[in-house]
Chain A
């Protein structure tokens, strides 16, 4: 797929209206092209048969996009709603800053998966790379395999669930109790992701909230 054909494809997809959105689009031979099906605004079904490049399904709204292959950097970045499913592996920054919607990566995700997540949900069927959940603010990240080092570094309020081993936690990230409400949320996410896993086998990680305000030794106050 050449750059010209990406432009033509995206324009046709962008020209879809709510009325014409109830259709399935199949994109053959994507050849790793960048920015395929980014900026969708309607609830169309889009299937990409092959590998996609950077920013596939970027800023998605409403659309249901399936990639029968691997994806490059930033799949579903800043997604607002809809569902993006990657049947293969995902490169770095998968689901970065997503505000909503569901990103499912059936294989592994590389570094910084869910970076600065703002409310979206990400389910990784395999393992996730280092600094997954870096600076993430809201939403959920579910990792069915292992998490590499510095998980949840500088985390805000995102919930991170890991079934395998977390190699190391980043600054201000800590393990927290997995309570009933978390198991319930997790079960729902796994069901939506169509991944068969027992929620009780996961561990939960969240923010220790020690970096929320600047701490200093105030000599005057201490002397009083």
Chain B
């Protein structure tokens, strides 16, 4: 199973480089035939340049993974584990986060921080994305619902781990651009739509996992109803640039609901002998 995920990583890596090479050709076509030197050298320079950029992103992604791992160790007490699932980390290592942010922010895409994506929305901090994904305990046969597609990054990470991802976005422009992006990047197991997330997506219910990245005043009962027995729902609470805590909603095999609040940092509220 691990290999299967690795496979998709390498496959995407090849595609990525392939596109870089292709982009070189119009450049060559525009050259005068007299400039043989240019014909010989410039594509080489360009190809190697493209590879350098791709390599640079790979390296940045590696650093991001290291950052996340460090954060996990630091918050071990609250998330009750010293590391996230190997699969989750592989998914984080696979998805080209720089393709989910605006051109001018690409150089910062792999920093362990949230970034603005327009329309008052953000692409979440990588650590929080990994934490939320890990909390869902994703399995290859799972169906996961996401409320708040945003850039599509979280859906892309999930799509590496589960069978189907269904994602709903309320802002039309954002929904359209993320749908386009996800299909261009070849994520075929993600279905998106522009709609009201509160009522869920009953056609595809029940879900094994649900992520709600939208401001809510209460946990929407329809979403809890569409959660499978044994399923998990994650709700981050805070501002667009600062997740204060996460709520994990669990439905047990008898259908009983509990919520659990998870602080994404190590914090011991009191020092007394309690």
Q: Do A and B bind each other?
A: no
Interface set of A (CB-CB < 8 Å, partner B):
none
Interface set of B (CB-CB < 8 Å, partner A):
none
